[in-house]
Structures are given as C-alpha cells and as structure tokens.
Amino acid sequence: MSALPNKAEPTPAPPAVMRSAVTLPAFPDMTPARWTVTSALVALAAGIPLVMTNQYALSVMVTTLILLVLNISWNFVLGVAGVWNFGQLAIYALGGYGAGIIMLHTTVSPWLAVLAGGVVGTLAAVLLAFPTLRLYGIYTSLLTFAFAVVIQYVIVNDGSGLTGGTFGLPIVKGLYSSLSLAASARAYYWTALAVVVASTIVLAAVGHSRLGIALRGVRDAPAYAAARGVSPMRYRVIAFAVSGFLAGIAGGLYVSYNQSISPSAMGLTPMSIDVTMLVIGGLGTATGPIIGTILLAIVQTSLVSHPGAELTILGIFLLVVVVFVPDGLAGLAARYWRRISAWAAEDDQSGEAAGPGEAAEIPEGSPDPNVA
C-alpha cells in the first residue's frame, strides 16, 4: 500500500490547487533523531513478549493492540476527516463477523478471512458514507449511530443462525490454531503490533499527502475547499473506505484472537471507552490514539474490580482533558517538546546538520497545518 507515489495516477478532474508540482514530504515532522527513537520504541514493544511470562498481562496487551487498530481507523475518519462517524464499531463488528463466518464455514486460509474482513469493512463504510454526504455535524452522528444500532439488532435477532444471535459465533479457528496457547498469544501480539505500526505509518503519510490535506481542508473550511475544487464527496468516501478497511481488519484480528465474536463487541459502553481514548490521546493526531489507548487500557486494567469507579474516573479524565487540554495528550506533548527543543536550540548556538533545520522549523511549527 503506497499512499504517496500514487500521485501520477490519472484522476478524472484533478483540482488545480492540488496539482502543484511541489513534492510533499511524507513525514515532515520526522527528523532522523525521531526516526531513531520511534524505531527503538517499536523494537522495545516487539521485545515485550520475549520477557513477559504473565499470560494474563500478555492477553490484555494483545486485546489493547487490536483495539488500537480500531482506534487508529476511527481516528482517521473522526479526527483527520472530521466526520462524526459513530458507526465505526458496527463496521468493525461486520468485519469481525465476516472474517469469523468465513473461518467457520470455509477452509480458506484464515489470513484471507481476515483480509476479507477488511473488504467487508470497506464495503460497509462506503455504503455508510453515501447517506452522510449531505448531512452536517451532529446529524451525521445520529445517522451513523442509527446504522450501528440497526446492524446490532440485525445481528442479535438474526433468525438464520448465521450470526449466533446474542451469544455470537461458535468457536472459530483463528490465525494460529496450530500453535500452543502461549506461542499463539505471542504470535497475535506481533501480528497486531505489525498492523499498528504499518497503519500508523501509512495513515501518517496519507495525512501529509494531498488526500490528507484535502480532508483537513474539507473539515476546517468546507466552503473554501469546495471553492478550490476539492470535492468533499469524493474525499469523504475515500476516507470512509480507508478507515473501514482498517476497522474490518481489526474486527478480523479480534475474532481470530478471541476465537469468537458477539454483539457485545459493539454498543454504547465500548464506544464511549473508545471515544474517551481518542479524545484524551488527541483526535486527529498520529500519536494520539496510541497514547490514549495504552494509557486508558492501563487505567481500565488497574480498576477492573470497580466497574463504577472505572468509568467515573474515565469520565472525569475526559472532562478535564477536553476543557484544559483541547488537543489531547499528544498535542500537550508536542507543545512541551517544541518548548524544550526551542530552549535547547537557544542554548546550543553551534548546532549543525540537524540543528539549523530544526531551529528553522520551530517558530512556524504550527500545530494545525491549515490549507489556508
């Protein structure tokens, strides 16, 4: 999946403003130092299952990583494209059910089944995108949420036995049925981590590509973007498709790892937790979903025996972050990081190679790259 080099692809009517000859850097925020730190963190994360012997902790981590894939997909449509899509969990569940049903009733490779989950997710998302095109903000949220409720009811009340109703699908094989319990947990961990890393990189690149700029333009200044020839319709459908594919993959991973899926995977409570994760982390940023999901997974796990207190604390957290830290923890971190590096740059006058580049970037390091 190459997001960027597609620029040569002939499109029907490329808007003039988008046709600029300037090559957009895929990762303008990434300095060599940051790449090094990021790679080290990924390597560290990949090493965890090698030293972690606690099976419960590992299973929590796998679940969190799969949830993170879902949250990354949701962040793309909710944060980057700014579409109030509250049907994402239904798309995720459809992907899961699609993959699960294929694993259950056919003999094709479970990997293909997971991929099929992604395709189901894409189709469902595109289908959902069309009716939202004419809607505005809150109306979109109701329509997409209505979609989710209808899907959930259809799954619960399915008379044909395909979905298994409230109880969900019977046991499916999953990706690593031949491995031992401990080995398969590790394998799932690495698989989910790989998907997280790949999707973060791809979506970050997409975010800085023409598509991403167009999406943010449509989000922040719809009239202006439309006047510059950016079709809100086309870009919204693409955003839904990309995000739906990833959500479907997340659903496929979920059904493989849990060897089942039931309607409780969607619904109001998981949705509120996911929204909280995204908002606390920082909607629309690349690192936000990662920070929010991991942080809240830790909070949730440590409060697991007090269900009331858990959500109360999440609620307070959410309130405080939205009121006092409008751009989430990722935004907060970025601001402090900028202040620290500005301070370091002041101190270190003789900075070379990386120095001048970074120093030049600091004053105009605006957090929201508007089209205007």
Partner 1 sequence: MAATDLVGIAVTTIILGSIYGLVAIGMTLIYGTLRILDMSQGSMVMVGSFVGWGILVVAGLNPVIAIAAAFAATFVLGVLTQLVSVQPLMKRRNAIDFEMVTFITTFAVAMILTNVALELLGPQQRNVTPVISGGVNIYHGVNLPYQSMAMAIVSIALMAGLGIFLARTRWGMAIRAVAQDLDAARLMGVPVGKLYPLTMGLASALAGIAGVFLGGLYFAYPQAGDLPLLEALIVVIFGGLGSLPGTVYAAYAIGLIQATAEVLVGTTWSLPILYGVILLVLIIRPYGLLGKPSEARL
Residues binding partner 1 (CB under 8 A): 82, 84, 131, 134-139, 141-143, 146-147, 149-150, 153-154, 157, 219-220, 268, 272, 275-276, 279, 306-312, 314-316, 318-319, 322-323, 326
Rank residues 57 and 154 by Cβ distance to partner 1 and give the closer one.
154
Report helix, strand or coil for 351.
coil
Rank residues 143 and 246 by Cβ distance to partner 1 and give the closer one.
143
Nearest distance in Å: CB 214, partner 1: 16
Q: What CA–CA distance (Å, rounded) separates 250 from 289?
A: 14
Q: What CA–CA distance (Å, rounded) separates 255 from 245?
A: 15
Rank residues 323 and 353 by Cβ distance to partner 1 and give the closer one.
323
Nearest distance in Å: CB 307, partner 1: 7
Q: In which element (H, E) is residue 250 found? A: helix 232-258
Q: In which element (H, E) is residue 46 found? A: helix 32-51
Single-letter amino acid code for the residue at 115:
L
Single-letter amino acid code for the residue at 53:
T
Closest CA to 366 of 329, 334, 344, 320: 334
Rank residues 139 and 336 by Cβ distance to partner 1 and give the closer one.
139
Query: Helix axis angle, 232-258 relative to 55-75, nearest 10°?
Result: 170
Q: How many CB atoms lie within 10 A of CB 71?
A: 29
* DSSP states along 193-235: HHHHHHHHHHHHHHHHSHHHHHHHHHHH-HHHHHHTT--HHHH
Nearest distance in Å: CB 82, partner 1: 8
298: which residues sit within 8 A by CB, 6+ positions away? none
Nearest distance in Å: CB 275, partner 1: 7
Rank residues 84 and 189 by Cβ distance to partner 1 and give the closer one.
84
Q: How many CB atoms lie within 10 A of CB 326?
A: 12
Rank residues 272 and 301 by Cβ distance to partner 1 and give the closer one.
272
Nearest distance in Å: CB 152, partner 1: 9
Nearest distance in Å: CB 41, partner 1: 29
Rank residues 137 and 367 by Cβ distance to partner 1 and give the closer one.
137
DSSP letter at 77 equals: I
Rank residues 298 and 309 by Cβ distance to partner 1 and give the closer one.
309
Nearest distance in Å: CB 329, partner 1: 15
Nearest distance in Å: CB 222, partner 1: 9
Q: What CA–CA distance (Å, rounded) separates 345 from 337?
A: 12
CB 293 within 8 A of CB 283: no
Nearest distance in Å: CB 311, partner 1: 4
Rank residues 57 and 233 by Cβ distance to partner 1 and give the closer one.
233
Q: Specify the long-range contacts of residues 295-300, CB closer than 8 Å, at least 24 apart.
A: 295/329, 297/60, 297/63, 297/64, 297/67, 300/273
